[in-house]
Structure 1
Amino acid sequence: MRNQILALAVSLGLSAPAMAQETEAPTPQTVSTELFGLAQSYFGQGDLEAAKRALEAVLALKPAHPAALGGLFAVANRGGNANDAFEALDAMVAAGLTYDPSRAEAMLREADTARYDAIIASLEANAAATGQAERFAVVDLPDALIEGVAMDIETDRLFLSSVAQRQIILLEPFARDEPIVFADRDDGLWSVFGVAVDDRTRLVWAASGVVPQTPMEEGEEEGTALFAFDLMTGDLYRRYEIEGAQQMADFVVRDGIVYVSDSRAPRVYVLDSVSGQLEVLAEDPRFVNLQGVALARGALYVADYSMGIWRVDLGDQSVTLVRPNDVSLIGIDGLLNTRDGRLVAVRNGARPHQMMAIDLNDEGTAVENVEVLLRGHPDMSPGTEPTLVDLADGRAWLVANGAWPLFPEDGSDPDQERPTTTILEMDLR
């Protein structure tokens, strides 16, 4: 792969001596980071053609990356190249993104007013409210920083994960406005991210670790683990750890088997049974920031916030990047699968934020279609972001307004008031 990347750089006319001197094998992430730096440098020097080529090389590694597309627009605007600017905007439209091109409005209208107006209409359509969802619960815990959601369809009880208060929160069906602490730091929890109910084992599973927003006691040891709690009593059943883990983030459970992503180490773990031990299923230096996990078409799919979606073959453990269509898969947080093999993804790392269904080809290696399920709901409020989703019985439950932007990493209070958290319910049938 190293030679292929260097050949790509040379083919685009780039001078990349630092890349050639790398002692470690380059990855798409390290190379694209360097290319972004080169593009910025060339842009500052006024070498717009080289900046354009560097950004095109980034897009070859990370299709429909919002920052690269925005960079191409900026390069075109600086150079007064209306055609290139239109092409960058067309790519943003196709990627399902939003963007404000008004700084180049005069140039673009002079070149082709009708085309400019059509693009503006398309960008606005990309942000238009889509789909219907109802409020399932409003949780008045503004300091909890709720991230994950899990529904027990047998009892209609809802479980939520708290990052900033280190808890699993329970909402009973008859009192959804009265959150109950189901498990907390006394059970060994750090911040809680992904959470799930397993119908087979009747356990509540939770991935826990430490981030800057985690309140830690002086001298308390950091760590990360997968936890299992008795669904009815809340008693800790078992805690699973593995050497080298950095931050277990999200997971999927099927037939008592748990597949777990690590957002800070390039690894995916598997737990074959509740009496077993976590093992490394896949370790690949191309992984950057792993998030949601899904099972479909006989393979494991793992969202990578920086790269898109990885496919892990459950037979030989080989790893490939799912080929996208035009729609951007950058910035996906939550990821699960429906019974018929659709992937349901929550994108919050690119604008607009949305929940979307992804249909794969028969081989499960490429995207055939993307359908926006929910976007622009009033509870997906500005200054917040949708995070994780749970699926069961043809329905979806979404954390609509995770308040990550309002929890500064330095622990300081935000300038604006933190909102209550809204859980939305959608019928996917």
Structure 2
Amino acid sequence: MNNFYRITLLMVCLLFTSAVTAQLKSQVPAETKAAMGKTIALPESVPQLQRLAAKAYEQDKHRAFVKIMEKLRQLRPLDTGYMYQLVLGYALVDDKTAAYDLMLSMQQQGAAYDFNSTEDSKNIRGTEVYEFVNKLMAQAGEPIGTVENILTLADNVVLPEAIDWDPVNEAFLIGTITDGRILRIGGDGKSTTIFQADNENGMWSVFDIKVDAKRKIFWVSSAALPGFIGYQQKDFGRSALFKFDLESGKLLQRLPMALDGNPHSFANIALADDGSVYVADSQAPVIYVLKPGDESAKLFVASPDLLSIRSLVLNKDNTYLYLSDYSKGLFVVNIKSGQMRPPLMPDTLNTSGIDGMYRWEDSLIVIQNGFQPSRVLRLQLDDKGVEIVEMAALAVAQPVFDNPNFGVIRGDWLYYFANSHWGHVNAAGQASMPVKIIRTRVDEAPNKENPILEEILEQMEKSKSPAADADTEQ
């Protein structure tokens, strides 16, 4: 692929929206325009809208389906699943302009879908625009980057969600949700249970582990939820932080969340240089902070914008806290003022569906399993730490991926769970397959404005035969 062809493809993607709108406006049937222009009173509840959309689709009320899906996209603008359904809705009412515009937006974000896989898209097929964009989207599901297998956890390690590195014992610390175990696992794969939840110690499912190597301790967040084998209904909504000695694994302190009549679920943790512990409460969802010497965590940030907090990360000088919300994307919180807002970022970056998030130098490393395809990205921050200026695709659509979620940075490597047990555990608490730990380098992939698209174009260039190149030059 020569530079002219490469630039042409990029320009098509960047300038396509206005061109296709002018080309296709007249193709939308007048009755469709009129019907879709009518105002329909819709609820603000996502579950209600989902039910209404399913009903409208089943009854072949396609224009109503489109209106409902547009409302869902308004409420959850980063959800590519809703985007996909809305494209099909536009296809069903033969609105090529809207369908192609949305397909382009999805493609620019790196989403991998093949609209040829469903008959619902037949009305928008058969144009050069459709074939071009759909081909790029299908190719976005091809693997990018490399991963290395490190070890496979034992079959009885069920629903591991917490992982950190213990530099004192040179081993991984891993926590489980099903039985509330904390395991120390060396590089040889041998594991030792150093703590087990029971009625006496008052621990439940383990949701996160964070090592404070400077103070030679580690923190664990735990909550009582039905997935825990020792769960009792009377404990629902109870949660606590636990402090352990790093070398011995001995429990040093249990710090329960005060009973206030509301359910709580301490989950992801971030540690500050001064020893403060920031912890997300996924039930609320809000963020609490436990200052050194305090006996209980105090409210730090609460916002109606938050729906499902997954990860917390502090910047180098501890002036900002970054949080990932599974539905709403990334936010940055000013530690001093408590003010929260999304970071500035390229329009092509979709930050929904992030489970694990970690800091490496001046970048955020994110594990994005709520996006299709699952991927690991490096997000380069500006000097102030409030804007994402560039990004790199580290690992995308790897065959070993099956809901990759959490990990830990060691040097220039991200070690992380390649797969998750969610949806793979039977009523007896047994998993259908073990969880693997893999690693990916975080320093080698170059930053790009749109890494997924550029990688696809590079792969297309490599796939061209020498004969084809010779024909092009003649």
Question: CA 1:283–1:215 in structure 2 vs 1: closer, same or farther (change >3 Å)?
Answer: same
Call closer, same or farther: CA 1:321–1:385 in 2, change over 3 Å.
same
Q: What are the superposed Cα offsets for residues 309-347 of structure 1, whole Å, 9 maximum, x if unpaired?
A: 22222111122234553232221111222232x111111
Structure-2 change in CA distance of 1:362 and 1:53 (3 Å): farther
Question: Match for 1:254 among 253, 272, 287?
Answer: 272
- Supply the distance in 1 between the matched residues of 2:143 and 2:270 (Cα, whole angstroms): 29
Q: What SS does structure 2 have at the residue aligned with 1:216? A: coil
**Cα distance, 1:51 vs. partner?**
4.6
| Bigger Rg over Cα | 2
* Alignment-derived partner of residue 396 in structure 1: 414
- Describe the shift of the 1:50–1:371 C-alpha distance in structure 2 as closer, same or farther (beyond 3 A): farther
Aligned to 1:25: none
Question: Secondary structure of the residue that 1:89 maps to in structure 2?
Answer: helix
State the shift of 1:35 in Å: 5.5
Please name the residue that 1:386 is paired with. 404
Q: What's the CA shift for 1:64?
A: 2.9
Q: How many residues align?
A: 396
1:294-333 residue pairs with structure 2 within 5 A? 294-296=313-315, 298-323=319-344, 325-333=347-355
1:329-374: CA deviation from partner (whole Å, max 9, x where unpaired) = 221111222232x111111222211221223455544543332212
8 Å contact 2:63–2:93 — kept in the other structure?
Answer: no
Matched AA of 1:280:
L
Once the 2 structures are TM-superposed, how far is the Cα of residue 124 of structure 1 from its aligned partner? 2.9
| 1:49 to partner: Cα distance | 5.1
Partner SS, residue 73 of structure 1: helix
Instruction: Provide closer, same or farther for how the CA distance between residues 39 and 109 of structure 1 changes in structure 2, counting only shifts above 3 A.
Output: closer
Scaled by the length of structure 2, the TM-score of the pair is 0.75
| 1:214 and 2:231 matched | no
What CA distance in whole angstroms lies between the structure 2 residues aligned with 1:363 and 1:50? 45
Say which SS state the counterpart of residue 405 (structure 1) adopts. Answer: coil
Contact 2:158 2:421 in 1 (8 A): no
The alignment status of 1:337 with 2:359, answered yes or no, reads yes
Verify the 8 A CA contact 2:407 2:416 in the aligned structure 1: yes
Residue 287 (structure 1) aligned to one of 290, 299, 306? 306
Residue 107 in structure 1 maps to residue 123 in structure 2:
yes
Distance of 2:203 and 2:328 partners within structure 1: 29
How far does residue 63 in structure 1 lie from its aligned partner after superposition?
2.9
CA pair 220-60 structure 1, distance change in 2 beyond 3 A: closer
1:286 is paired with a residue of what secondary structure? coil
Q: CA RMSD in A?
A: 2.9
What is the CA–CA distance in structure 2 between the aligned matches of 1:137 and 1:153, rounded to whole Å?
18
Aligned to 2:83, the other structure's residue is in SS state: helix
Partner of 2:155: 141
Determine the C-alpha separation between the residues in 2 that align with 1:32 and 1:418.
32
CA separation of 1:230/1:246 partners in 2, compared to 1, >3 Å: closer, same or farther? same
Of 247, 252, 257, the residue aligned with 1:237 is 252
Residue type of the alignment partner of 1:396 = L
Task: Flag the 1:276–1:131 CA change in 2: closer, same or farther, 3 A.
Answer: farther
After TM superposition, list the pairs within 5 Å mapping 1:7-406 onto structure 2.
14-16=39-41, 30=44, 48=62, 51-102=65-116, 103-104=118-119, 106-110=122-126, 112=127, 114-173=128-187, 176-186=188-198, 187-216=201-230, 221-222=235-236, 223-243=238-258, 244=262, 246-255=264-273, 256-273=275-292, 276-296=295-315, 298-323=319-344, 325-340=347-362, 342-361=363-382, 364-380=385-401, 384-406=402-424
Q: For residue 8 of structure 1, what is the aligned residue in structure 2?
A: none
* Partner Cα distance (2:90, 2:139) in 1: 24
Rate the CA distance shift 1:219–1:288 in 2: closer, same or farther, 3 A: closer
TM-score (norm 1): 0.82
**Any stretches of 5+ residues in structure 1 without a counterpart?**
1-11, 20-29
Structure 2: unaligned runs, 5 residues or longer: 1-36, 444-474
- Describe the shift of the 1:366–1:61 C-alpha distance in structure 2 as closer, same or farther (beyond 3 A): farther
Give the letter aligned to residue 193 of structure 2.
V
Which residue in the other structure is 2:16 paired with? none
Deviation at 1:169, TM superposition (A): 1.0
- What is aligned with 1:3? none
Letter in 1 for 2:125: R
- TM superposition shift of 1:154: 4.7
| Counterpart residue identity of residue 271, structure 1 | L
Moved more, 329-338 or 152-161: 152-161
Determine the C-alpha separation between the residues in 1 that align with 2:148 and 2:352. Answer: 27
Q: Distance in 1 between matches of 2:182 and 2:234?
A: 20
8 A Cα contact 2:217 2:243, kept in partner: yes
After superposition, the Cα gap between the structure-2 partners of 1:391 and 1:219, relative to the gap in structure 1 and judged at 3 Å, is same
Deviations 1:365-420 (A, max 9, x none): 4543332212233432xxx3111121132321101111112126xx3678xx6222
2:168–2:247 Cα contact (<8 Å) kept: no
Kept in 2: contact 1:385–1:402 (CA 8 A):
yes
Residue type at the aligned position of 1:373: L
| Identity score, percent | 21
Once the two structures are TM-superposed, the CA of residue 108 in structure 1 deviates from its matched residue by 3.5
Correspondence for 1:9: none
1:195 aligned partner, one-letter code = I
Whole-Å separation in 2 of the counterparts to 1:13 and 1:367? 39
